[in-house]
Structure 1
Amino acid sequence: MEDKIKYEMEFPIHASPSLLYQYISTPSGLSEWYADNVNSRGELFTFIWEGSEEQAKLVSKKSDERVKFRWAEEEGTPYYFEIRIQVDDITKDVSIMITDFAEDEDEVEEGKMLWENMISDLKQVLGSV
């Protein structure tokens, strides 16, 4: 299996960490911006987009700080995607940090565009455009 390319992105966002955490860690929150619908049974989350379904396991979470998921098809691999809430110590500015993996440079570009669109949807939901 080819090694995947890790990439990271940062999005400044005007919202409190506790509110943001609801949107990145709960099925109802995630279905507002990340997927059309999201269901969970324990640590197993099912993401639904226009009729296609993907399952991911919630690998770890820290309240008001971060969630890390691994797609079911990548079970047993080091690959994951993480959504982290970062607060600047001095300015108190809040950012969302995304860590994800892609097969190749083209997929990195596609992935970044997808995240940009999804975070833009999240900002609209939060009213922090």
Structure 2
Amino acid sequence: MSKKQQYTLEYPVRCSPTILYEFLANPSGLQEWFADKVDERDGIYYFSWNGSEDEAEVMEQEEEKFIRFHWLHAPKDEFFEFAIEKSEVTNQTILVIKDFADKREVKDQSRLWDHQVKDLFHRLGN
């Protein structure tokens, strides 16, 4: 099996880091756009989509800055991360997503994230 590579996506968003972080780090916020159902117990997030389920643990987080998840089934060095940055020039909030995929799947995975983020922006009123 080929080793997955990390890729990064950036999305400018019109909302405060505080509000955005609620949608990235809390089960109720994630359930609005990322998965059909999200529960959290003891640092493990339980995600479900159309009847299938997956589990991820929080590796690291800093309030209003970032949260990094690790899928329990994935290799230890792989993760997905939501980070919130501010543009120094425009002072705009930027959502930065880091994830891993096989090289030939990066484009498809990026499209999937684009679709998910579109749902997030709809919920945020962007």
Q: TM-score range by the shorter chain?
A: over 0.9
1:123 aligns with 2:121: yes
- Give the corresponding residue for 1:29: 29
Q: Which residue of 1 aligns with 2:48?
A: 48
Task: Give the CA deviation at 1:94.
Answer: 0.7
What 5-or-longer segments of structure 2 have no aligned partner? none
Runs of at least 5 residues in structure 1 that lack an aligned partner in the other structure: none
Aligned to 2:80: 81
Q: Distance in 2 between matches of 1:115 and 1:108?
A: 10
Does residue 111 (structure 1) correspond to residue 118 (structure 2)? The answer is no
SS in 2 for 1:21: helix
Extract structure 1 runs of 4+ deviating beyond 3 A: none
TM-score by length of 2: 0.96
Length-normalised TM-score, structure 1:
0.94
Percent identical:
34
2:39 counterpart of 1:39: yes
Over aligned residues, Cα RMSD in angstroms? 1.0
Provide the residue aligned with 1:93 in structure 2. Answer: 92
Deviation by residue 1:44-96 (Cα, 9 ceiling, x = unmatched): 00011010000000111100010100001025x21000010111133210110
How many angstroms apart in 2 are the aligned matches of 1:56 and 1:36? 15
Alpha-carbon distance in structure 1 between the residues aligned to 2:86 and 2:42: 28
> What is the rounded CA distance, in whole Å, between the counterparts of 1:56 and 1:33 in structure 2?
17
Q: Secondary structure of the residue that 2:109 maps to in structure 1?
A: helix
